Amino acid sequence: MSADSRGRIVASAARFIEQRPGQLRRDGVALRLAATADAGARVKGGVTAGVAWQEVAGASDDRVAGSARMQVRIAGPVDAAVEYARRAPLSGGSIGALDAGRVEAGLVSGEARIALGFLLVGFGGDGLTPASDTGRLYLRAQVAY
């Protein structure tokens, strides 16, 4: 889509097998769908949904996750965003916090954005991975949104 588009939809599918140092082996499939819409020259909203059918260390750990975010251009390339995320287990054991709230301050250049974010409450990451991401500060980089 062109840079002046008012909405975008991105779908992705991934088949993965991973084993990071110090982490359990993860094997599965993830599907994601993201949609954004410009609600004016300064405001952008978006929603995402994802599902992962996966085994972690040989045990089923299927999950679904979603989020809603609002991004507001403050001045020039500077913006701010808030995000609410929710996840739920489809199978497997307890996954900890089910909700998350985040805030971000970012810089935009065309379709690219880099932002420093802070996890106010809840889980870190996308909610589909089994990693226990407990860091509160994070960096988000986007090539297109």
Look at residue 2 and tell me if it is in a domain: no
User: For residue 138, how many other CB atoms are within 10 A of its CB?
Assistant: 15
d(CA 42, CA 115): 16
Whether 47 maps to a domain, the answer reads yes
How many domains does the chain divide into?
1
> Does residue 1 fall inside a structural domain?
no
CATH of the domain at 11: 2.40.160
Residue 59: inside a domain, yes or no?
yes
Cross-strand partners of 66: 49, 86
Q: Is residue 84 part of a domain?
A: yes
The answer as to whether 122 is a domain residue is: yes
Residue numbers of the domain that contains 43? 7-142
Predicted model pTM: 0.84
Q: How far apart are CA 30 and CA 126, in angstroms?
A: 11
Q: What share of the chain is helix, strand, coil (3-state, %, to 5)?
A: 0, 65, 35
Instruction: Give the per-residue pLDDT at 2.
Output: 43
- pLDDT (tens digit, 9 = 90+) per residue, 82-132? 999 999 999 877 888 899 999 999 999 988 999 999 999 999 888 888 766
Please give the pLDDT value at position 91: 83
> Alpha helix (H) ranges present in the chain?
none
Segment 29-75, tens digit of pLDDT: 999 999 999 988 899 999 999 999 999 888 898 999 999 999 999 99
